[in-house]
Amino acid sequence: MPGEPVKPGENPAQKRGLWHRLSGPVKVGLLFATIAIIMALVGIFKGSSTTPITFRSVAMAVLISGGTWGIVSWAIATAVVEVERDVAEAEEAEGEGNPESSKRPAG
């Protein structure tokens, strides 16, 4: 609980669950991987006349769809976080009057 007092010798970070310890891009990757896995399983079970439902076909669908969507969405979210961090640093440096950051190419 958020209002619960911390006992002596206890680290408050240890009480937080795994979901709260994950970074934003990892959460995005897991979310999209889960959606992709659900869609793949629905597709396999709905189209069972064309794809045999075996452990191998289900495992391949889960690994390919979940892995691909998870990694790609994680990479995009990580890039967004990095760009936002760079923009914030550039704005901060510009606000401090740093002469190197205020140099802009002519044109």
Domain ranges in the chain? Answer: 22-91
Q: Measured between alpha carbons, how far is 77 from 69 in angstroms, rounded to an integer? A: 12
Per-residue pLDDT at 17: 85
Average pLDDT over residues 31-57: 88
Per-residue pLDDT at 101: 47
Q: What's the DSSP call for residue 5?
A: P
Mean pLDDT taken over the chain:
81
pTM (2 d.p.) = 0.67
The vertex-67 CA angle with 64 and 68, nearest 5°, equals 75
Per-residue pLDDT at 93: 85
**Most confidently modeled of 16-20, 43-47, 49-53?**
43-47
Question: For 37-69, b where at least 16 C-beta lie within 10 A, e where not — what string?
Answer: beebeeebeeeeeeeeeeeeebeebbeebbeeb
- The residue whose two tokens read 């669908």 is 61
Per-residue pLDDT at 16: 72
